[in-house]
Amino acid sequence: MDAFTKACAWLFPQHCKLCHQSLRPAQQLCDYCCAQFTALTDQGETNLLLRADVQRQFSLPDVDHLVALDWYRPPLSLWLKQFKYEQRPYCQRAVSQLLAQQFARLSMTATWSWPDTATVIPLTPSRLVWRGFNQVVQLWQEVLPQSLFDVNILDRRTSCRPQAKLNAQQRRRNLGHAFSTNKTLHNQHVAIIDDVLTTGSTINAAARVLKQAGASSVSAWVVCLTPKETVQ
Ligand SMILES: [Zn+2]
């Protein structure tokens, strides 16, 4: 640790956002609290599509591999909302710290392989102008190697309505031809990153377009899975 970092740590001591114990610089959560986020990894399964409870809840026929940090519930649900709508940086850093820890663990497993490219579900232009940033890119950019990112693979048609206020049937109809791509992805493994998987219809519509463009494998990497009982 350099002298400047030491001085900052002394002047502005950081505390865990959950248990308030002192932290090392650049951390938002202590090791003990980080270790509690194991609801989706407690069975040792690195592909959540192989879990029966996840299979029952999400229809992802065009997705081959699913990674998520946890179910959509506090504190992650609060951090995601506070970052998305109030731009609170500590919320982004806490989520990114947990994601980085999970991917460090996954990358050491025997069956893990990094994709050729990681891309993002594009916001509609009006949403991007209104919000001013794509929160998904910010959540993930500290987690993944920069060389993996290509945020310009998918295009979104402007007539598509935002999904958040639609039920499952309306979401599927809304997404019929929502995405397109100009890229050729012959034999590539592409990961789609996102914040919350609600019904799976958005990511699956994007995955279908990637497969039609030649992708041999599509992974979905999200922060949270929404339990079915909370989706209309
Ligand atoms: Zn803690």
Per-residue pLDDT tens over the stretch 101-158: 999 988 888 888 899 999 999 877 666 555 656 788 889 988 888 899 998 899 987 6
Q: Where in the chain is the domain with CATH 3.40.50?
A: 37-230
Tell how far the Cα of 21 is from the centroid of ligand 1, in angstroms: 6
pLDDT confidence of residue 44: 74
* Fold of the CATH domain 37-230: Rossmann fold (3.40.50)
Tell how far the Cα of 222 is from the centroid of ligand 1, in angstroms: 23
55-106 pLDDT, tens digit per residue, is 999 989 999 999 999 999 999 999 999 998 888 889 999 999 999 999 998 8
177-193 pLDDT, tens digit per residue, is 789 999 999 999 999 99
pLDDT confidence of residue 125: 65
Tell how far the Cα of 85 is from the centroid of ligand 1, in angstroms: 25
**Phi-psi map region of 181: left, alpha, beta (phi>0 left; psi -120 to 50 alpha):** beta
The DSSP call for residue 5 is H
pLDDT confidence of residue 131: 60
pLDDT confidence of residue 222: 96
7-66 pLDDT, tens digit per residue, is 766 666 789 999 999 888 778 999 999 988 887 877 777 899 999 889 999 989 999 999
Tell how far the Cα of 58 is from the centroid of ligand 1, in angstroms: 32
For residue 141, how many other CB atoms are within 10 A of its CB? Answer: 15
pLDDT confidence of residue 232: 47
Tell how far the Cα of 20 is from the centroid of ligand 1, in angstroms: 6
Question: Do the Cβ atoms of 144 and 138 come closer than 8 Å?
Answer: no
pLDDT confidence of residue 137: 87
pLDDT confidence of residue 96: 94
The DSSP call for residue 229 is G
Cα dihedral 210/211/216/222 (nearest 10):
50
Tell how far the Cα of 17 is from the centroid of ligand 1, in angstroms: 7
pLDDT confidence of residue 223: 96
CA-to-CA separations, 28 to 24, 39, 97, 197, 216, in angstroms, rounded: 9, 20, 7, 24, 37
Tell how far the Cα of 36 is from the centroid of ligand 1, in angstroms: 9
Task: Report the candidate in 88, 85, 75, 82 with the shortest Cα–Cα distance to residue 29.
Answer: 75
Residues that place a CB less than 5 A from ion ligand 1: 16, 18-19, 30, 33
